[in-house]
A and B are shown apart, each in its own frame.
Chain A
Amino acid sequence: MRLAFTDFCLILLALSLCASRSVAQEPGGSTSTALGGAALGAYSGGVFGLLGGVGPCNRTLSGPTCPRIAAAVGAGVGLVAGAWMGTEDSESLNARWRGAGYGAALGTLVGYGLSRGVRQYGWTDVGTFLGVGVALGTAPLGAAVGFATGAAVGGLAWLVVPEMKIGDAVGLSLVGLAVGGLAGWVSGMDVHRDSPPLVIPLQVRFR
């Protein structure tokens, strides 16, 4: 059975929504926190979109248009989620800023290590790892769950479907990371944590 790409994204989204529900304290925010949240969300969402587009967009003939659209969609989702969070739940947003800081530090470390060991890596790549680390740090749980799910599905497909190659599996892993990361942001909009948890029933049928 081969799932359509859309089905796969929906499943990942659902899993990530279940996995990355944050615990919010519901303190309200201000205009400045809303703007800060919008900026952080747009940036992180854009990076998630770009990373998610790496695989699927490299199967199209649209050139850079496809990754640009992916980045724009991700940035849009992140912007709305970040602005909402900055308005309604500034403490949760602060946690994301802290995560971004941790991500920046970890990304810098990874980038620096690579720049010392890999010929073609330089300071621009250290900066890029820093930038990607910032985005991943804002929604680490969703990104991790999404990546793991994508890797599992991609790995299974690689083993089962002859035409699927390892590049396709890597692409699916990154799609998972992106969808999970964005879902992590979207789930942050659920500030009313005393409401019943979001449960999406999934049914997968093998024929």
Chain B
Amino acid sequence: MMAGRFRRPAPTGWLCLTLLAGCGVSHEMALISPGDLASRSPEISWYGPSSIGDRRSNEAWLRTVGPPVTVRAPAAAFEALRAGDSLAVFSWNMAVGGGDLLSFLQEEAGIVCRGAASRSSSRYSHVVVLLQEAFRRSADLPPVIDPALAARRSEHDPHPEGDPDVVETAARCGLALVYVPSSRSGVDAPGETRHDKGNAILASLPLLDIVAVEHPFETERKVSLAATIPGPGGAWLRVVTAHVEVTSTLHRVILTGNQTRVRQVAGLIDVLDRIAGAEQRRAPVLVGGDFNTWSGGESALKMLRRTFPESPPWDGQSTRGPFPTDHIFFKAAADADGTGELSPRLIPGSYRRIEDRYSSDHHGRFVWLEVSGHRSPAASQPHRAEEHGP
């Protein structure tokens, strides 16, 4: 288990000075029963911190958001996954309503959005978009007036093609969708429809085995999201969209020894390892997200690179102002060729920053996978990749 490879966060900070012990800071995670809360849909497997304090804080925020949205199969008739296909994966923090998701999908991902008649353009065979800070607009969200239980409202200019939320965008483009809100985006305001925000996965392929991971609490609730993409012959890829804290308070920094992102990432790795352990195989996993890192050498990134050894190397580029916040990590299947199953592999050199921010404050990240396994490696180059380079 990954959790065993890292030292468990223990009392530090002021305790180092006083030589006392007891106020632990843990990243240990546990399966959570959805209970009777609508915002924890039983369609999804929920994991969260074992710590009672973290769990209470998360639940206070959980009560401010609406239920998750799951559209497991794309409404449009996209092609099924076959050997030799390519899979384009995008990861993007769309800054709530700031980012123009519809334009991103059409121009960057090459989706021709026509509702149930949507289709992929010739650029990519299949598309997965891992979103952070996606938003959903709904008058049915619980009322929230306490600003201590809501993230700051995002202000932005309207986009040319309107301002659809993630649910409407997925419907317009005929894509499968999983959306799990983590917090309200601003408290109730007169004359405004309520918003919540969180991570989402959009795909031109079905999304199964959905898992929500509530991170150990720092200053606001963060929920990462995993789903499995099935393929023929049992082939599959687990994709994860992750979002961790940008900075904690000085009190937390001192108390934990600045372990904010480390413990949140360790929690995510712990859950992914539990899932893999239960399946008793090394599954291929791709994690994309906004890790809010201030430096390319941060501990959280090093942990992820060690856990996902086939990750593309960081290109040294920042993705939010001067900060290198957004990254993609990958772990290939163990002995994929020996199993005879289809298996995703990174196409070398395909990992890059997306230059157009589409009105978000973040650049997106892109990586291209090939689906191999039934053919010899020489013959398994993706046909779309040969025809249309990145």
Report how many A-B pairs have Cβ atoms within 8 Å: 120
A70–B293 Cα gap in the complex (Å)? 22
A59 to B6, Cβ gap below 8 A? no
User: Given A46, A62, A128, A165, which contacts B322 in the complex, CB threshold below 8 Å?
Assistant: A165
User: Given A50, A58, A63, A158, which contacts B8 in the complex, CB threshold below 8 Å?
Assistant: A63
User: Given A59, A71, A125, A158, which contacts B16 in the complex, CB threshold below 8 Å?
Assistant: A71
A166–B254 Cα gap in the complex (Å)? 20
Which A29-53 residues have C-beta < 8 A from chain B? 42-43, 46-47, 50, 53
Q: Is A106 an interface residue (CB 8 A)?
A: no
1/0 contact trace for B304-342 toward A, CB 8 Å?
A: 001000000000101000111000000000000000000
A165–B17 Cα gap in the complex (Å)? 31
1/0 contact trace for B347-371 toward A, CB 8 Å?
A: 0000000000000000000000000
A167 to B316, Cβ gap below 8 A? no
A71–B258 Cα gap in the complex (Å)? 13
B302 to A170, Cβ gap below 8 A? no
How many whole Å from A131's CB to the nearest CB in chain B? 7
How many whole Å from A59's CB to the nearest CB in chain B? 5
A90–B16 Cα gap in the complex (Å)? 27
**B: interface residue count bin:** 35 or more
Q: What residues on B are CB-neighbors of A71 within 8 Å?
A: 12-13, 16-17, 257
1/0 contact trace for B13-34 toward A, CB 8 Å?
A: 1101100000001000000000
Q: What residues on B are CB-neighbors of A46 within 8 Å?
A: 16-17
Q: Is the interface of B mostly helix, strand, loop or mixed?
A: loop
A54 to B298, Cβ gap below 8 A? no
Known: A67-B12, A67-B258, A119-B148. A124 touches B299 (CB 8 A): no
Q: Is A66 an interface residue (CB 8 A)?
A: yes
How many whole Å from A161's CB to the nearest CB in chain B? 10
Q: What residues on A are CB-neighbors of B318 within 8 Å?
A: 165
A28–B220 Cα gap in the complex (Å)? 52
A42–B7 Cα gap in the complex (Å)? 26
Which A119-140 residues have C-beta < 8 A from chain B? 119-122, 124-125, 127-129, 131-132
Known: A59-B299, A165-B295. A64 touches B12 (CB 8 A): yes
15 interchain pairs (CB within 8 A)?
A54-B257, A57-B257, A59-B297, A59-B299, A63-B6, A64-B10, A64-B259, A71-B12, A120-B249, A125-B250, A125-B251, A163-B297, A165-B323, A167-B295, A168-B294
Give A contacts to B, CB under 8 Å: 42-43, 46-47, 50, 53-54, 57-68, 71-72, 75, 111, 119-122, 124-125, 127-129, 131-132, 158, 162-163, 165-168, 170-171
